[in-house]
Structure 1
């Protein structure tokens, strides 16, 4: 641009040669002023270009610094999460999944303040075809919904068949995890429709059922307070089944309010100590109907040692409780004691196949076994005393992975009841003596969140007087977990 102006100035000078010297001098002065102004403008433009370049460089440096700050913040956040996970691991120890606070907020949840919230559950349809050898089980009862050995008809009644569909086992849970400095706080609520106390609509129309509490507890570091699986039970031993329980007569099974403290002992062991809700279920001589008394003065006390190793898991539990009745002139009490051992043995390195089992012996603790297959004790009006009931229960199950999407389970379960010898035969003739069952199933998971299963089960129930009955059931289940 400057060169073009200089050329134009020369042309003007050449054209003005015939002009008077004074005019030529004036033109030269104007040209010098113009050149000075152009040089100043070029200097200012160069300065602007320099300033712009510096600004762009500073912007790049600022962006890099911001990215570095973000990376540093992420690193600090990950380090904090690692420290919190260590605190939680120390607090919960290698306990069962039901009593463990997650080490980090769930990836698929959401946040509210400093709490991570996760919602989940599943939709499950169960379709059963049942054959009862010696009678009929009423519709819309637990004996039709899932395997309940005490509901099997006995005697010499006519055999019956029944087909049932239901979605009562569908479940919903909410899990909340909050960070309080170096402490971990957890809240958990879980409910379904299976054990609802009442029915809102019949199977003929809308099939509506009550939403029922299963579990609801808070956990602060090593303390768990609320309603949870009893500490006496080793939940991970339960086999995979289309049924609601699967090995009903052979397993410890109870959910109830409790206060539990979990103490890690090294890296592979945790000691759980708990005080749990007391409740006495007794029968009167001559009547097998179980009565809930609610007359206990002290809670049930439970201790369980959970061990984990390279070849499997082991749980050893002990229970001590008071069994008591006090109403209508009755005033009697006795002691209940029980022990239980359960665990898993891995059958491959990937831990996708295993052998699992449980063995339990109890003296006046039958409400913890087989969904109260037998009473805790028998009340004798003649002596105003509680006569003891002992029980032995066990189950074993083989879980076999058949490739990536297929798996099979084979299970057997058994319980035997022993009544006090001070009871006359007539007093206990219609009481449960024994139950056993066997089942085999096959599961297919075409996708991660979908499980399809089919299962065959045979179960038998025997009374003290020799009457018995059996059940044969073919069951299909489809479940979508979310």
Structure 2
């Protein structure tokens, strides 16, 4: 009887074990069927996308290019290819070969030598360094939050090897960072245009910048908050200094406080208007000074074919923010004390459309530096001004063929001045 009971119990245990294995196998079969169904759905989606491709063509990529991104993320790629060709003539000597002034209009680069100076023959430059590209990743969450990442670079200002920038054979140029930021709803963190600047009103120039003498132009790292037309930002501080009575420039990163900027902007069918403020601390070793400046900018539509654009700036310590640093923020005296310098500038531009394919722009710019000659001496820039006129022809919506005539002048505190004349042409294809 005992042996019989043991055999019955063994049979029951074997039956239970078989039942458990059957249940487990059924679960695995169901899971496999689910995976097969999911794979079939993906294949159907791919077939649908392929079916939409014209005959003889295949899709570039079957799956998302942002496979690791958050859901509901879109990716865009853009930029332009630009070739610049220019002929330059300067009255008081040549602009240094390979410098920024040979690539676009830089007022501080205009040579000034004085009476008897001879600029010699004009000189020609070709380059494609301002070609650029950008990546943008935009996400809208299920809650409606907006997240953006943006990265942009060009080939101006960089160098990566012995032959970088060598026009003898390779004309090799490395990438240069322009923008790199992330934004989340009202907040932005990273490098982009200064909040003190208004890029929307810049004129339609063939030159890289255009009215450089009086323009606010800075890109730098910052933390910005925007709500409607109002924005405020903490931005990277940097102090540019002029040496005592020599005009020699240097930089200081000793500031303990970031630059503070605030801007209010409004726009409509009539155009655009903004006013921006800047507060700064200057510091060199243990010496400090403060600065403040204002900038007013706008665009006024004069009808369907014309608009007027402008910008007026001024303040104490506006130095590196205006005219690509035509004047320093501060000057160091004989005792190493800092003295923030006053500066003023502005520009005005008229734009006219002859047709959807042909447009012209005429603009004037000026900067005035109120130097304290007791500290700066008389060999520093007092003012700069320029006139520009261009015609741009667009045979196709994204292709621009441009030609621009420019005249500029830089004057020193001792009344010496140098003139600048340039014929600037360009071919630009945006994508």
Q: TM-score range by the shorter chain?
A: 0.7 to 0.9
Within the alignment, does 1:192 sit opposite 2:145 as a pair?
no
| Alpha-carbon shift at residue 420 of structure 1 (Å) | 2.8
Within the alignment, does 1:420 sit opposite 2:372 as a pair?
yes
The separation in 1 between residues aligned to 2:248 and 2:106, in whole angstroms, is: 16
| Alpha-carbon shift at residue 310 of structure 1 (Å) | 3.1
Equivalence for 2:175 = 211
| Alpha-carbon shift at residue 286 of structure 1 (Å) | 2.2
| Alpha-carbon shift at residue 137 of structure 1 (Å) | 1.4
Within the alignment, does 1:133 sit opposite 2:85 as a pair?
no
The separation in 1 between residues aligned to 2:316 and 2:165, in whole angstroms, is: 41
Equivalence for 2:136 = 175
Equivalence for 1:250 = 214
How is 1:377-416 mapped onto 2 (pairs within 5 angstroms)?
377-380=330-333, 382-416=334-368
Equivalence for 2:45 = none
| Alpha-carbon shift at residue 385 of structure 1 (Å) | 1.1
The separation in 2 between residues aligned to 1:154 and 1:464, in whole angstroms, is: 12
The answer to whether the 8 A contact 1:455-1:475 is kept is yes
The answer to whether the 8 A contact 1:388-1:419 is kept is no
Within the alignment, does 1:449 sit opposite 2:408 as a pair?
no
**Which stretches in structure 2 are left out of the alignment for 5+ residues?**
1-63
Equivalence for 2:329 = 376
* Paired residue secondary structure (2:255): coil
The answer to whether the 8 A contact 1:237-1:357 is kept is yes
Runs of 4+ more than 6 Å apart:
none
CA RMSD of aligned residues (A): 1.6
How is 1:64-463 mapped onto 2 (pairs within 5 angstroms)?
112=67, 114=71, 115-156=73-114, 157-160=117-120, 161-181=122-142, 182-196=144-158, 200-264=164-228, 270-326=229-285, 331-348=286-303, 350=304, 352-380=305-333, 382-420=334-372, 423=374, 427-463=376-412
Structure 1 residues 150-207: Cα deviation after superposition (integer angstroms, max 9, x where no partner): 1000023321311000000000100110122210100000110123267714111010
The separation in 1 between residues aligned to 2:308 and 2:171, in whole angstroms, is: 38
The answer to whether the 8 A contact 1:347-1:355 is kept is yes
| Alpha-carbon shift at residue 111 of structure 1 (Å) | 5.7
Q: Structure 1 or 2: larger helix share?
A: 1
Q: Which one has the largest radius of gyration?
A: 1
Structure 1 residues 53-88: Cα deviation after superposition (integer angstroms, max 9, x where no partner): xxxxxxxxxxxxxxxxxxxxxxxxxxxxxxxxxxxx
| Alpha-carbon shift at residue 308 of structure 1 (Å) | 1.2
| Alpha-carbon shift at residue 365 of structure 1 (Å) | 1.9
The separation in 1 between residues aligned to 2:185 and 2:214, in whole angstroms, is: 33
The answer to whether the 8 A contact 2:159-2:173 is kept is no
| Alpha-carbon shift at residue 383 of structure 1 (Å) | 2.9
Structure 1 residues 15-43: Cα deviation after superposition (integer angstroms, max 9, x where no partner): xxxxxxxxxxxxxxxxxxxxxxxxxxxxx
